Amino acid sequence: MSDIQQPAQTLPPNAPSGPPLPRSTKKEGKPASLWSDAWHDLRRRPIFIVSAILIAVLVVMALWPSLFTAIDPNDPRTCELATARQGPSGGHIFGRDNLGCDVYARSIYGAANSLLIGISTTLATSLIGGMFGLAAGYFGGVTDTLASRLTEIFFAIPSILGALLIAATFRGGPLSSITLVIIALTVLGWPMTYRIMRAAVITAKSQDFVVAAKALGAGHMRIMMRHLLPNALAPVIVIATINLGGFIAAEAALSFLGVGVTSPDISWGLMISDARNRFLDAPLPLIFPAVFLSITVLAFIMLGDAVRDALDPKLR
Amino acid sequence: MAPTSEPILEVRDLVKHFPLTQGIVVKRQIGAIKAVDGVSFDLHRGETLGIVGESGCGKSTLAKVLMALERPTSGSVKIKGREIAHARGGELKRMRRNIQMVMQDPYTSLNPRMTVGDIIGEPYDIHTEVAPRGDRRKKVQELLEVVGLNPDHINRYPHQFSGGQRQRIGIARGLALQPEIIVCDEPVSALDVSIQAQVINLLERLQDEFNLAYIFIAHDLSVVRHIADRVGVMYLGKLVELGKDTEVYDKPAHPYTQALLSAVPVPDPEGRELRERIILQGDPPSPANPPSGCRFRTRCWKAQEICAEEEPLLQIRPGTAHESACHFAETHDVVHIG
Amino acid sequence: MKKTSPEVLPAEGGLGNEPLLAVDNLHVEFRTRAGVVHAVNGVTYSLNPGETLAVLGESGSGKSVTAQAIMGILDMPPAVIPKGEIRFRGTDLLKLSEDARSQVRGQRIAMVFQDALSSLNPVFTVGWQISEMFRVHRGMGKKEALTKAVELMDRVRIPAARQRVNDYPHQFSGGMRQRIMIAMSIALDPEVLIADEPTTALDVTVQAQIMELLAELQRESNMGLILITHDLGVVADVADKIAVMYGGRIVENAPVHDIYKTPAHPYTKGLLESIPRVDQKGQDLYAIKGMPPNLLDMPTGCAFHPRCPYRQDICVTEAPALSGISGTRSSACHYWREVLDGTHE
């Protein structure tokens, strides 16, 4: 038998040289490369394509609104009080609002603030919640207990009420109305991200590769940043995308209630609020920003859904 | 491989208890899981000590304590005369260069988000003094070659490899710091039968090449017999028998070892009707509340009153050439027919 | 599965020449996004009453998929059975309606799985779960069914069955849970019991207990037992005959003594030489090189040829059929004679 005895050998000569073995049967659908798999999966989802196109249009709209309209609503000369609440007419396809400003141009220009607030708040909540979640999940014990109790307090506050309180209290201070909205929404929004991150870290922490890193003498920072974070990121990204739509809606709600974005800044919520008293005789100035708002929120929620399905089929 | 020099690893009276607590705010200890409860042994350079036992016997906890991943409740673990069990900070980090591990599950033991190069190179990132930055890539490729993988695959991700290849990656990571001791915790039990032999042969070749000492923890007694020079049998947190592999396997003295060995199926149907089978009744008692005296007495057919009163120590007993912890130790070959 | 042939349930009683269970040229594919996974590629084996057939193979060899096809518990789709027959007492199960099939499944052909903990429902007592078999299939009342459950627990030697009947699965050890699974599977006196890696998750002393229990139950009831495993030791202990699977095919079929003494397929031979033995020291382990085939992209010809030391050109181009080499043995190798003689090259 000795002639076929093999010392521990190198790669089998006949092994395919390409990416070797996609694992054999359906049972072994092991982690694979999460991101490339997810991307592969996403590209085939109509819901992703629709939401991605919508969001792309919105982003372009926010960055270069003048591509969509020749009228600059920030220029007071474009408003004519005399034509207030005029219906659609040449050059003003959505008609004019209470102050005689063009509804279409204002709706286009409103995208920037909505996206700015949505994206900033999402980044801030992800950063704060993510950091706390990572630390609490990794260290456990007292750190975890304290952080978790703290988030429970925040969870207990009804969010709109809390945001109202923060925004109303600091109004008129040195901070711009937009910054204030971002802060208010961040303060109330981070515990959600915290929870998701903490749970994901606790799952990742129990895996053997973390033990292996400890056995090598890796420090806390290395374990958290190199090993835990990349493996816990997926659910946080999912929740961030879904929350983004929610924050945009929340901004509109705060502006509608008069504690959010204030004139002269443009916001869909503010437009809706301004138009509400004359809704019966002039519905268009309310309906158009509302439609923009709904489509934007929907686009992000759809995107979040698609990303979730692609990243974590188990959550479906 | 006879012990030639001072032991490289000395374990004395090692105890690891996990407290059982009650209450949420004010935690009160109501007992302890006695996972490892007084284990002592030596390991010499280039030697393989097999630790066998069934699930819950404490062998995996033992591995964690040896690796200083858990602090022992009491007792000592010395590597080349220096205590690792209570070392901290930089000292502990330095000592880790001398003791590394190979883990059981090749799927969860490699970070799926890192390339093979990053995984095997991580030891050098942590212990920057071992290899200058510029040499690392070359070192990683050398390691890949040593464990029988293609060095060109350095940029691939773990999922692009099979279970056996992943285990080789784990072994390469363990070798990176050139340790003298490697703790192998069930290194082949997750692999397919035809792949197990590849990994066992690799471990044996590496041992010869680098003069490694292995602690080889496994539940598969056949694998341990193949690879180990000496074998320790664990039951409920204690070593009940310890000796050369030929002694323990061919002349087991402790009833538990005999039962364990007789239960191992032999891949040969010849004379299977004649083979002696000691079927133990019931399950092992809970390590939170082990029996008094000898821990095996509740399932032992030889148990007498003394077994409940007096704990048998692990020592050489009359008529045997190796250590066993039984008042009625008596060698009895159970694996050979006739 | 919506075939509507007249419902001929397999008759009980005499078998004539027909084996109790015969799998004939069975093919199973999984149509997945990544392609067609050829899990089972023409498996043929048979089982007689009172006989123990060991199906030996590594993960991905198709041994479990074959068993799931027999049980009719494959998810279809993605699984498809393009051809083959599974004859139980002469009746092709694949041609029966789902209704008729469920009369066979669990009652006349039963299965024990590897993972007893996830196979038991954690929120019901074990007594309730065992007695459910009698309530659902035998129409017994609660009380009567529970009495039967206690009897069964006694039969699988769970100590203090009467007291433990109202315990929940997590209150039992792994070995005891596997006994409960076995109790459930034999509740309705099946004629065939399929045990899929029944002891893989268990310790060796518990494994010995379970294997002994299965052997005893089989003696008492004369049922046919299909033991699916990767463990050559367990097979040697209990099997009457062995079917070795590789890459979805049977590569060797033989009575147990023959196969260990004189394997007739290079894969079987390699496996036997690659496992360490508890009763021997110092043998060199032969390592079969390479790794099991990718079922999405099977090698041409013989699936084992990339790893085979006996390989010749013909092995790459032509898949060897499983053909008889004696009255009771068959091998799917072009060079089985050389393997059998131990001659090589």
Q: Which residue has the tokens 């050059």?
A: A91
Contact B252, B258 (CB under 8 A): yes
Tens of pLDDT along chain C (345 residues) come to: 444 444 556 666 556 677 888 898 899 988 887 788 888 988 988 898 889 999 998 888 888 889 988 988 888 778 888 888 888 888 888 888 888 888 888 888 888 888 767 788 888 888 888 888 888 888 888 888 888 888 888 888 888 888 888 888 888 888 888 888 888 888 888 889 999 888 887 788 888 888 888 888 888 888 999 999 988 888 888 889 999 999 889 999 999 888 888 888 999 988 888 888 888 776 678 888 888 888 888 888 888 888 888 888 888 888 888 888 888 888 888 888 888 887 544
The number of folded domains in chain A is 1
- Distance CA(C245)–CA(A28), nearest Å, equals 19
Contact between chains at C276 and B194 (C-beta distance less than 8 A): no
- Between chain A and chain C, the number of residue pairs with CB atoms below 8 A apart is 59
Which partners does chain A have (≥3 C-beta pairs < 8 Å)? Answer: B, C
**Backbone phi and psi for residue C34, each to the nearest 5 degrees, phi listed first:** -80, -10
By C-alpha distance, the chain C residue nearest A14 is C306
Q: How far is B263 from chain C (nearest CA, A)?
A: 5
- Distance CA(C205)–CA(B264), nearest Å, equals 8
Q: Note the pLDDT of residue B338.
A: 57
- Distance CA(B182)–CA(B60), nearest Å, equals 14
Q: Which residues of C touch B166 (CB under 8 A)?
A: none
CATH for A122: 1.10.3720.10
Q: Is residue A83 in some structural domain? A: no
Q: Which of B94, B238, B259 is nearest to B177 (CA)?
A: B94
Q: Note the pLDDT of residue C12.
A: 62
Contact C64, C230 (CB under 8 A): no
Q: Is A85 left (phi over 0), alpha (psi -120 to 50) or beta?
A: left
Q: Note the pLDDT of residue B52.
A: 93
Q: Which residues of C touch A15 (CB under 8 A)?
A: 290-291, 306
Query: Helices marked H in A206-283 — which ranges?
Result: 208-216, 220-222, 229-256, 268-275
Q: Note the pLDDT of residue B170.
A: 93
- Per the structure block, which two tokens stand in for B100? 């590394």
> B222: how many CB neighbours lie within 10 A of its CB?
22
What is the SS3 assignment for B306?
helix
- Distance CA(B56)–CA(B69), nearest Å, equals 18
Partner residue facing B195 (CB), from C203, C281, C291 = C291
- Per the structure block, which two tokens stand in for B204? 């044996």
- Per the structure block, which two tokens stand in for B17? 């208890």
Q: Is B56 left (phi over 0), alpha (psi -120 to 50) or beta?
A: left
Q: Note the pLDDT of residue A194.
A: 92
**Backbone phi and psi for residue B182, each to the nearest 5 degrees, phi listed first:** -125, 125
Give the residue with greater pLDDT, B337 vs A61: A61
- Within 13 A of B234's CA, how many CA atoms are on the CB side? 31
Q: Note the pLDDT of residue A26.
A: 34
Q: Note the pLDDT of residue C104.
A: 84
CATH class of B9-98+179-324: alpha beta
Contact C117, C176 (CB under 8 A): no
A134: exposed, middle or buried (Cβ count in 10 Å: 0-12, 13-18, 19+): buried
- Per the structure block, which two tokens stand in for B126? 């942590």
Contact A95, A279 (CB under 8 A): no
Q: Note the pLDDT of residue A15.
A: 34
- C21-119+196-341: CATH topology: Rossmann fold (3.40.50)
Q: Is residue A12 within 8 angstroms of chain B, CB to CB?
A: no
Q: At residue A24, does pLDDT exceed 70? A: no
Long-range contact set of residues C81-84: C-beta below 8 Å, sequence gap at least 24: C81/C26, C81/C27, C81/C28, C81/C29, C82/C27, C82/C29, C83/C25, C83/C26, C83/C27, C84/C23, C84/C24, C84/C25, C84/C26, C84/C27, C84/C42, C84/C43
Contact A199, A177 (CB under 8 A): no
- Distance CA(A227)–CA(A131), nearest Å, equals 14
- Distance CA(B260)–CA(B59), nearest Å, equals 15
* Mean pLDDT, residues A157-171 taken together: 80
Q: At residue A82, does pLDDT exceed 80? A: no
Contact between chains at B159 and A30 (C-beta distance less than 8 A): yes
Contact between chains at C257 and B336 (C-beta distance less than 8 A): no
Q: Which of C262, C231, C342, C263 is nearest to B267 (CA)?
A: C231
DSSP 8-state code for residue C185: H
Contact A12, C291 (CB under 8 A): yes
Q: Which of B246, B231, B210 is nearest to B335 (CA)?
A: B246
Order across the sheet with B238-244: list the strands: B99-102, B181-185, B213-218, B48-52, B230-235, B238-244, B323-324, B315-316
Domain regions of chain C by residue span: 21-119+196-341
Domain that holds residue A45: 34-69+94-315
- Distance CA(B256)–CA(B258), nearest Å, equals 5
Q: Which residues of C touch A16 (CB under 8 A)?
A: 294, 297
> A281: how many CB neighbours lie within 10 A of its CB?
7
Please name the residues between 265 and 304 in chain A that touch chain C, using a CB distance below 8 Å: none
CA–CA distances in Å: residue A109 to residues A97, A120, B65: 15, 18, 63
Concatenate the DSSP letters of all residues of B225-258 into one string.
HHH-SEEEEEETTEEEEEEEHHHHHHS--SHHHH
Q: Which of C58, C289, C305 is the best substitution to test chain A (most A C-beta atoms within 10 A)?
A: C289
Q: Which residues of B touch C257 (CB under 8 A)?
A: 269-270
Which residue ranges of chain B lie beneath pLDDT 50?
Answer: 1-3
Q: How far is A11 from chain C (nearest CA, A)?
A: 7
Q: Note the pLDDT of residue A28.
A: 36
Q: Which of A195, A199, A184, A196 is nearest to A151 (CA)?
A: A195
Q: Is residue C314 within 8 angstroms of chain B, CB to CB?
A: no
Q: Which residue has the tokens 């087991």?
A: B252
- Per the structure block, which two tokens stand in for A138? 């990794």
Q: Note the pLDDT of residue A138.
A: 92
Q: Note the pLDDT of residue C282.
A: 66
Q: Is residue B294 within 8 angstroms of chain C, CB to CB?
A: no
Q: Which residue has the tokens 């040697």?
A: C236
Please name the residues between 269 and 288 in chain B that touch chain C, using a CB distance below 8 Å: 269-270, 272, 277, 279-280, 282-283
Q: Which of A10, A209, A237 is the best substitution to test chain B (most B C-beta atoms within 10 A)?
A: A209
- Interface of C to A at Cβ within 8 Å reads 30, 32, 34, 37, 39, 59-60, 65, 78, 273, 284, 286-287, 289-297, 299, 306-307, 309, 342, 344-345
Q: Which residue has the tokens 């093979």?
A: B116
Q: Which residue has the tokens 């203090």?
A: C160
By C-alpha distance, the chain C residue nearest A11 is C290
